[in-house]
Structure 1
């Protein structure tokens, strides 16, 4: 696929995950990064909800910072053309 690295990078950018998700004929490289990006998006939403719970704001914000770091790691991996599993979430598979 001509734009595999671009689509893989978009997978880590929150709502922009829609673009690679809707592209027909995704190769396994894009699907790998799409899976990790989707897990990060779900984690980001959950941690955002935690931020609204009284006395949990700091914990939610800290967890969201970790998600941001993992997203940067995923983008770097995609740019390099690698399939590095992200720490902690890398074993979870939602998309085959």
Structure 2
């Protein structure tokens, strides 16, 4: 696929995950990073909800910082042309 790295990078950028999710004929590289990005997006939503619980704001915010770090790690992996699983959540498969 001509734009595999671009689509894979978009997978880690929150709502922009829709672009690679909706294109037909994704290769395994894009699907791998799409899965990683989707897991990160779900984690981000959950941690964002935790941030609204009284006395849990700091924990939710810290976890969202971890999500940001994981997204950066994912983008670096894409730029290097690698399929490197993210720590802790990398083995979760939502997209095959």
Q: Specify the TM-score bucket, using the shorter chain as the normaliser.
A: over 0.9
How big is the shift at 1:48?
Answer: 0.1
Q: Which residue of 2 aligns with 1:2?
A: 2
Taking structure 1 as the reference length, the TM-score comes to: 0.99
Q: Output aligned runs, 1:7-86, within 5 Å.
A: 7-86=7-86
Tell me the SS of whatever aligns to 1:31.
Answer: helix
Give the distance between the partners of 1:79 and 1:2, measured in 2 at CA.
14
How big is the shift at 1:17?
Answer: 0.1
Give the distance between the partners of 1:86 and 1:43, measured in 2 at CA.
13
Give the distance between the partners of 1:90 and 1:77, measured in 2 at CA.
13
The unaligned stretches of length 5 or more in structure 1 are none
The unaligned stretches of length 5 or more in structure 2 are none
How big is the shift at 1:13?
Answer: 0.1
After superposition, the CA RMSD in angstroms is: 0.3
User: Number of matched residues?
Assistant: 96
Which consecutive segments of 4 or more residues in structure 1 shift more than 6 A? none
Q: Which residue of 2 aligns with 1:88?
A: 88
